[in-house]
Structure 1
Amino acid sequence: MIEDRMKIEEAILRENLDLLKEILAEDPSTIDYRDESGVCMSFIAAKTGNLSIVKYIVEYSRASMNTVDSKNRNILHYAAMSGNPQLAKYLVEKVGLSPVTPDVDLITPFEIAHEKGYEKLEKYFEQICGAGLSEMYKNPIRTGFYPDPSIVRVGEDYYMVNSSFIYFPCIPISHSKDLIHWHIIGFAITNPDWSYLDHLEGGRGYWAPDISYYEGRFYITATYRLNDNGRIYRKQMVVSSEKPEGPYSKPVFIDEDGIDPSIFNDEDGKRYMLLNRGARIFELNKDATKQISEAKLLYYGDQKRAPEGPHLLKKDGFYYLFLAEGGTGPGHRITVARSGTLFGNYEPCPYNPIMAQWDEKAGISRCGHGKPVQTQNGEWYMVYLCGRMLGDGYTILGRETALDPIQWTLDGWPIVNGLKGPSTLQKKPNLPECIWENRDFDDFDDDSLSVDWVFPRPPERNGIQLKNSKLWIRGSKAPLNSIEARNIVLRRQKDFVFTAETKMLVVPMYPGQDAGLICYYDENSWVKFGVFAASDGSRYIKLAEHIGLEDFHSREAVVLNSNEREIYLQVRTNYLRREFYYSMDGVSYSCFTTLNPVTYLSDEGLKMGKRFTGAMVGMYAYGGEKDLEVPFEYFRYISGRH
């Protein structure tokens, strides 16, 4: 078999079509062989750029044009590497492949042509797509822990909210002018006394918020999810404000069971809340603080598995009811039904699901939980939840937010992205571009922390302070594996490949205390790397992991000299691999240890509690029974390889 593979590979690489025909006539199965790197013969042919050989393979061999390599790249990816526009034209126009099909890293043939500088090929792809790369955006539009999006437009401004679970401040509110570039401007709950998070386990808290606008006020509602140790598990929270960034009113709670609330304002001025299962509806009072009717079921859904996330839209005399179905995993989807009256009956869309990912190997998956929005120019778009999995299915970044256009069919139904599933590259909306300043470096010079920082539950009073251009963290009295742990300062991991770094001043410590850099999912799974105080008074650089109910401490330990006053801590992440470095001068770094794979920092990596968030990175301090205050001079997050 090896000899046969080498023969056909040699024929392809030498571009000897006659020899290739002889080999395939003798044994047609040899076209399915793969080289030592796992690349199939048809891909090797495409990479040579030889159109005649590829045409013969396509039209006369048994090679499948659905074949992909280990990175989910197809034959067009390899043709793009050759730079031959005629070969790409053949594969696009005759075989039906797309220049914007992504691999697992969301790299498309279009981008390969651009990266390699193949101008003619890039120009051809531009003609096919109707836009150049500079005129396109890439999904997800919000990377990292931004699940369950809800959107509203007011004038020329767009506002989005996402779930925050037990993180404080609660429910980030983001603003955009172009639907692509988003910036957090505030939170629905910023008063620690109004958050009611202290006793909640990871994965509880505020689920699936919705934002709407009514008579000059913004309304945000969300499910308040409690622990499973009482009779009541879920309530619905509502806050409002005249300003999108807040401050918002004190939360009120509506005692109707269910999840994923949204507020619908009908044309007659009446206001309603929708909840799962399926879509149940009840009337609210004018300021949306009280339930004034019993809940009624409008419609249970198309697939009828985990129907949730209901949103209503009134358009052209119809009430359109959008639902998320299939659970929040790989089978997630968006469906729609409509009715001429609010209370139905609702007719399911014949094109359902209007958004779903059918390719199990695709880079973007678990697509659902969407809400439509119309631009000021009359275009329609859907924001929706998605996920990107690594390895055997680990969503380490958590669930993210994607965007795709809505088309309305001649028979009046909305479909998303032409029913092709989630896009990777998509033409930008016809809106003015607005790019926010990158804030991936924080020197703690401001009077308050950046909105990019969050905490698992509210920190202790004076537990986090900005003084003298430093972030001071008071050591938590409870260990990090407890829901009582406080004063952990975190930001979302936005990339599969990134470097995070902080400079920490070394302060006196009591035995058992530690502080430094942390990679965090929840109280059940994290890695901390920093300075640890030993019982003999010495201080060490160490690493500790907490996975479920077990703790693991690194065998390695580097003794700190007593005269050391500062230390630089760094984690370099490459997908599921993490390398931890330290430095005394910020120039020369030493690798302390490597962890691979850190699957326990993902949704699927541990079967313990509710896991709906995503990996975080930041700083912490643990003091135990004695006082500890640790200053950090800066934090830097660098996307991509260092």
Structure 2
Amino acid sequence: MDLSKAIAESNLDEVKSILINDPNLVSKESLFDAAKKGSLELVKYLVEYSRISLNEYDSSHRNVLHYAAESGNIELFRYLIERCGMDPFEGDHDLVTSWDIVHKSEGKEIENYLEKRYGHKYDEYYKNPVRSGFFPDPSICRVGDDYYMVNSSFIFFPCIPISHSKDLIHWEIIGHAITTPDWAYLDELEGGRGYWAPDISFYEGKFYITATYRLNDVPPVYRRQVVLYSENPEGPYSKPVFIDEDGIDPSIFNDDDGKRYMLLNRGARIFELNKYGTRKISEAQLLFYGDHKRAPEGPHLYKKDGYYYLLEAEGGTGLGHRVTVSRSKELFGNYEPCPYNPIMRQDNPDAAIQRCGHGDLVETQDGRWYMVYLCGRTIGDGYSILGRETALDPVTWTADGWPIVNNLKGPSAMQIKPFKDAPFDDQFKISECGLPFDYMTPRPFKKGDVLYNKETGIFSIRGSRAPLSSLESRNLVLRRQTSFSFIYEVTLVIPKMSDGQNAGITGYYDENTYLEFGITSRDGNLYLYANEHIGDEDRFELAKEAIASDIKTIRLKMTTNYLERKLLYQFDGADCEKEFKNLSNVFYLCDEGLSKGKRFTGALVGMYAYAGNDDLVVDFSQEQYSHGL
């Protein structure tokens, strides 16, 4: 009898005999099988007498506690937690924890045990990230009971989304810092440039947003800092004011004596601002370079209990990303690094949540502290399709006065909610530029080129003169991809088209990498087509048969499961849909998908129209994005 059969038959004596004669036969699969069977005696023997280790994971990054959760055996589950120190809050590659498995299987006995042991019910926890999809470089502030957050928008318009929350978990976009096309200054910028790493703060009745305005790599100026302000968090904000100081990741610090400062990298450099926060009135000087000494950026300054605390992001934005802190009794004094640095970093290279850094602290109205920070989740061969996202974890202060995040355990998959769920306003709201808040275009569109009818839900898009591969392309309406598996679909009202024109739906990263699925005009006929644009390569496929001339509408659908996308269509509300093409690997829709230019954003989906030199207006209706398949 082999080991797997002995475990399957719960034959402990045979398991002992096999492993005594050949200890090397034990494997993590043996442990997982025993746990899934719910055999406490088998698991105890393997844990306490075999050479197995408990830091083993399967291909989905599930450990022995995940398998024990499937068994429903309360004694086994307790043994693994109480005697072996296993963590029921550790997530697999999909951030599924062992408690999630227990809850889904309705294992009441284990769930009651977990609630009693940890003092909270299952629905009193939240999951990271709290902002899924393209929400990088978060900055946060609190005014009263309200929390406001901003994120980078790069070349997308409207610029710099502003989100609001009452409970730190449920966020909604309430406005943008720049909604006037003439104030965006994005027309000639390549993808990945534009507005980087914004900061939001509140000072004497006004909200201030500052960000780096990143230009193309054309000397002599590569980076400028921008400041905007408003009496209302949602805006409208003032016309951008530019400060000519090189660096990235600016933040504004308001000291107790009324003086105002801007910090930015490299390291943490600082200079004084005028009272209005719009003009530099001193030369920049270095406060502290950083503890890790590699790529220090994202500086934020806080004052607490007589210390100035300096938060920095270090290690680069990849797997080595981290958050460090230092402090000084005087603003321009000597900063000592925290002995617990890094206070946030992912140490497990196989865990779901990676590249954790660029943090910002906030104190709640009842005196607790939290940190928002960016993170990324990878699939396939290390592709962060969703881009850099926003996560949240609690901050505690040590007896010697240092802030540490999540007890130095790295990012949490499952964490206790800061507050009870607050009422959430899910009304569909429209930006001043005319787009719903969750939608954007690459660079500003001209007035009238993109229209949204709130009553009918129809997007009317005037065809762009330039294709999607051009910096001149404007008229494609996009929204964030917020899940690895989803369905995106829209009905296209077929217009009269000239040869070479096209319209449809897209999976989009930037002008260098995207996919198209739609209709195009060739020799007076309309055809379905698909195209994958990857750098200088186009993988174009045209339908063999033309679309019948009496067809009025077509339902275009993109079904996505991780890196696979199926492109489907349905004419005039027909009963069945048909598959046009299966794209097996859309790896190119992410930061790592192509080595060209600046790639810091995330995958989006949306609608486009290309007119060329003739006129074209296309109506899109019943647009839907659905999580899961």
Asked if Structure 1 and Structure 2 have the same fold, meaning a TM-score greater than 0.5 normalized by the shorter chain, the answer is yes
CA distance in 1, matches of 2:159, 2:296: 25
**Equivalent in the alignment of 2:532:** 545
* 1:233 paired to 2:233: no
The correspondence for 1:518, drawn from 506, 511, 517, is 506
CA distance in 2, matches of 1:562, 1:381: 59
CA shift digits 1:22-54 (9 cap, x unpaired)? 11111111112x7xxxxx111001000010000
Alignment of 1:430-579 (within 5 A): 430=419, 433-437=422-426, 448-466=434-452, 469=456, 470-534=458-522, 536-554=523-541, 556-579=543-566
CA distance in 2, matches of 1:118, 1:621: 51
CA contact (8 A) 1:542 1:557 kept: no
CA contact (8 A) 1:514 1:622 kept: yes
Match for 2:510: what amino acid? D
Offset at 1:557?
4.3
Offset at 1:558?
4.7
CA contact (8 A) 1:177 1:431 kept: no
**Equivalent in the alignment of 2:288:** 299
CA shift digits 1:184-239 (9 cap, x unpaired)? 00000011000000000000000000000000000000000000022110000000
Secondary structure of 2:101's match?
A: helix
The correspondence for 1:112, drawn from 101, 105, 108, is 101
CA distance in 2, matches of 1:631, 1:104: 39
Secondary structure of 1:600's match?
A: coil
* 1:220 paired to 2:209: yes
Match for 2:446: what amino acid? E
CA contact (8 A) 1:502 1:634 kept: yes
CA contact (8 A) 2:158 2:433 kept: no
CA shift digits 1:594-640 (9 cap, x unpaired)? 11110000110110110000000010000001111001112100011
CA contact (8 A) 2:179 2:433 kept: no
Match for 2:595: what amino acid? K
Alignment of 1:564-603 (within 5 A): 564-586=551-573, 587-603=575-591
* 1:140 paired to 2:135: no
CA shift digits 1:159-182 (9 cap, x unpaired)? 000000000000000000000000
**Equivalent in the alignment of 2:248:** 259
- The CA RMSD measured in Å over matched residues stands at 1.4
CA contact (8 A) 2:527 2:543 kept: no
Offset at 1:267?
0.2
CA distance in 2, matches of 1:365, 1:432: 27
Distance change >3 Å, CA 45–CA 432, structure 1 → 2: closer
CA contact (8 A) 1:377 1:430 kept: no
**Equivalent in the alignment of 2:386:** 397
Offset at 1:303?
0.3
Secondary structure of 1:356's match?
A: coil
Offset at 1:459?
1.2
CA distance in 1, matches of 2:461, 2:300: 42
**Equivalent in the alignment of 2:302:** 313
CA distance in 2, matches of 1:480, 1:448: 21
Q: Answer with 596-605 or 128-137: which moved more.
A: 128-137
* 1:26 paired to 2:21: yes
The correspondence for 1:325, drawn from 314, 320, 325, is 314
Match for 2:366: what amino acid? N
Alignment of 1:175-214 (within 5 A): 175-214=164-203
CA contact (8 A) 1:481 1:523 kept: yes
**Equivalent in the alignment of 1:3:** none
CA shift digits 1:244-298 (9 cap, x unpaired)? 0000000010000000000000000000000001100000001111000000100
Match for 2:73: what amino acid? N
* 1:609 paired to 2:597: yes
CA shift digits 1:36-78 (9 cap, x unpaired)? xxxx111001000010000000000011111100011001000
CA distance in 2, matches of 1:521, 1:213: 33
CA contact (8 A) 2:552 2:572 kept: no
**Equivalent in the alignment of 1:97:** 86
**Equivalent in the alignment of 1:621:** 609
Alignment of 1:373-392 (within 5 A): 373-392=362-381
Secondary structure of 1:260's match?
A: coil
CA contact (8 A) 2:313 2:358 kept: yes
Offset at 1:8?
0.7
**Equivalent in the alignment of 1:11:** 6
CA contact (8 A) 2:480 2:604 kept: yes
Offset at 1:432?
5.3
CA contact (8 A) 2:476 2:607 kept: yes
Offset at 1:466?
3.1
Number of aligned pairs? Answer: 625
Secondary structure of 1:454's match?
A: strand
CA distance in 1, matches of 2:488, 2:545: 20
**Equivalent in the alignment of 1:171:** 160
Offset at 1:327?
0.4
* Sequence identity percentage: 60
**Equivalent in the alignment of 1:84:** 73
CA distance in 2, matches of 1:98, 1:422: 13
Match for 2:447: what amino acid? R
> Gaps spanning 5+ residues in structure 2: where?
none
Offset at 1:493?
0.3
Offset at 1:430?
3.1
CA distance in 1, matches of 2:437, 2:93: 31
Distance change >3 Å, CA 540–CA 555, structure 1 → 2: closer
Secondary structure of 2:2's match?
A: helix
Offset at 1:132?
1.7
* 1:640 paired to 2:624: no
CA distance in 1, matches of 2:232, 2:247: 28
CA contact (8 A) 2:124 2:416 kept: yes
Offset at 1:435?
2.9
Alignment of 1:149-160 (within 5 A): 149-160=138-149
Q: TM-score scaled by structure 1?
A: 0.96
Secondary structure of 2:439's match?
A: coil
CA distance in 1, matches of 2:344, 2:545: 52
CA contact (8 A) 1:182 1:436 kept: no
CA contact (8 A) 1:260 1:276 kept: yes
**Equivalent in the alignment of 1:342:** 331
CA distance in 2, matches of 1:438, 1:559: 41
**Equivalent in the alignment of 1:276:** 265
